[in-house]
Amino acid sequence: MTLSMDTRLVHPPNPNGDARPFGALTPPLFQTSTFYFDSAEQGGARFAGRESGFIYSRLGNPTTQLLEAAVADLEGAEMGLSFASGMAAISAVLIGLVRAGDHVVVSRGVYGCTYGLLCLLQSKFNVQFTLCDLHDEAAVSRAMRPNTTVVYVETPANPTMELVDLEACANAAHACGARLVVDNTFATPILQRPIEFGADVVVHSATKYLGGHGDVILGLAVGPKSLLDEIRVSPQKDIGGIAAPFDAWLVLRGLKTLSLRMDRHVASAMEIAGRLSRHPAVAAVYYPGLPDYPQRSLYLRQMNGAGGVMSFVVRGGMDAGIRFMNGLELCTRAVSLGETHTLVEHPASMTHSAVPPEARREMGIEDGLIRLSVGLEDVDDIWADLNQSLCSLAL
């Protein structure tokens, strides 16, 4: 039977026949560090790979394996790996794909810590990277070098909401023998499935929409089994940034309502974006769902919805951005996104403050830029708070 996405969220695949013992409807939490062997021979066979089974939770756990299979299924991938955070997933994937002397092409609007990781790889391990506007295949091809091994993109980008043409990136990367890695945190597999456009690996900060309740930090990477196995046996196992079973259990719980939550996030965000675009204190709104969004045709081709995150620029620069943040009463001043609460942050003074000003400008991050993650509160209550703080800027 072919099941829809909504049904698969409630009924994820079960890679282990004994992962739901005693008829438990909800998979139990396997909160154990290690697993016993029936004999020394069995232990040896498992370590040698001759027999399947669990050894030690850093190497695999029934709860984390259920989550990995569920997200791989939603993204249309062969295999998944779970990690202690989104950055642990990104780090393991990049470390697994590059060597000293390699080059990485990066979409220009990336998360500040991803930028920091790339800087670390460049300064300590001679892995070069270039921030690029990857708006079409020609632009991607121009950015490629003979030593480029990875094209790494976020789409929508954090925090500018700029889109990257995934099919164009895949074509250009594969023509040069490189891999395409896509951070799909903002869209989730509900709104965008990069593997369908040629991506090799998809990463998620499951802290955001997949978990959805602001109570867990966890990362995921999905892709072809041959490649994920290489990452599993070295960067994941040896560096050790693995997901805890309890955190994986929380994300499994969150996945069951992902589709319902995304419907509400998208509907409310669309309404808020339209109202912001008409406010005199707002100079610009960046949200793919708006009819006048510059990349409208790409959005319609690549995504099933615009998501719950947007950015907008308040008039008055850095000072106005900070005053707007301080004037909020209902919306929560906090980093992160994709949970029940509406979260607002000021990238220039918060998430991207470590990025040099010239690099921020290259990424399209203005001093008055505000990132807004629309939560599940009543949309009119969200707007009332945003509006009163915006109006106070003119006083």
Of the residues 58, 253, 256, 296, only one is catalytic, namely 58
Asked about 208 being catalytic, the answer comes back as yes
Question: Among all chains, which residue has been given the structure tokens 């925090």?
Answer: 159
Sheet holding 179-183, edge to edge: 79-83, 219-223, 201-205, 179-183, 148-154, 103-107, 128-132
Question: Could you tell me the end-to-end alpha-carbon distance of the chain, in angstroms, rounded to an integer?
Answer: 61
Residue 129, beta-bridge partner list? 104
Instruction: Tell me the C-alpha distance between 10 and 70, whole Å.
Output: 10
Instruction: Tell me the C-alpha distance between 94 and 15, whole Å.
Output: 27
Instruction: Tell me the C-alpha distance between 167 and 150, whole Å.
Output: 15
CB atoms within 10 A of CB 49: 8
- Residue 150: both structure tokens together: 């990875």
* Residues 178-215: b if buried by 16+ CB within 10 A, e if exposed: bbbbbbbbbbbbbbbbbbebbbbbbbbbbbbbbbbebe
Q: What length does the chain have?
A: 395
Residue 313, beta-bridge partner list? 284, 369
SS3 content of the chain, % helix, strand, coil (to 5): 40, 15, 40
* Cβ pair 219, 209 in contact under 8 A: no
3-class secondary-structure state, position 104: strand
Q: H or E element: which one contains 249?
A: helix 245-255
Asked about 58 being catalytic, the answer comes back as yes
Q: Which of 67, 51, 56 has the alpha carbon at shortest distance from 19?
A: 67
Instruction: Tell me the C-alpha distance between 115 and 131, whole Å.
Output: 9
Instruction: Tell me the C-alpha distance between 11 and 70, whole Å.
Output: 9
CB atoms within 10 A of CB 135: 17
* Cβ pair 219, 205 in contact under 8 A: yes
Residue 202, beta-bridge partner list? 182, 222
Asked about 183 being catalytic, the answer comes back as yes
Of the residues 208, 261, 360, 371, only one is catalytic, namely 208
Of the residues 108, 111, 209, 299, only one is catalytic, namely 111
Asked about 111 being catalytic, the answer comes back as yes
Of the residues 165, 183, 200, 247, only one is catalytic, namely 183
Could you give the dihedral angle defined by the CA atoms of residues 191, 197, 237 and 87, in that order, rounded to the nearest 10 degrees? Answer: -50
Catalytic residues: 58, 111, 183, 208
